[in-house]
Amino acid sequence: MNYKLAIIVLGALLFVIAMIPYAYTPRCATPECHPEPPYFGERTSR
């Protein structure tokens, strides 16, 4: 396997995994959904 291709694939996977919480927390309004990014928590603290 090409090592450049492997680095690109791993980088894309890490980017997607890092962006998953930021993509789903604003929509998640259920009590069992505790992990929030700090800036979403500050905005939605009523």
Total domains, the chain? 1
Query: Read out DSSP for 8-45?
Result: HHHHHHHHHHHHHHHHHTTT--STT-----HHHHHHT-
pLDDT tens profile 1-46: 689 999 999 999 988 887 776 665 555 555 555 555 555 555 555 4
Distance CA 44, CA 6 (A): 39
Instruction: State residue 8's pLDDT score.
Output: 93
Report pTM.
Answer: 0.42
Residue 20 belongs to what domain range? 3-43
Distance CA 28, CA 46 (A): 15
Query: Using an 8 Å Cβ cutoff, are 22 and 37 in contact?
Result: yes
Distance CA 22, CA 19 (A): 5
Instruction: State residue 19's pLDDT score.
Output: 77
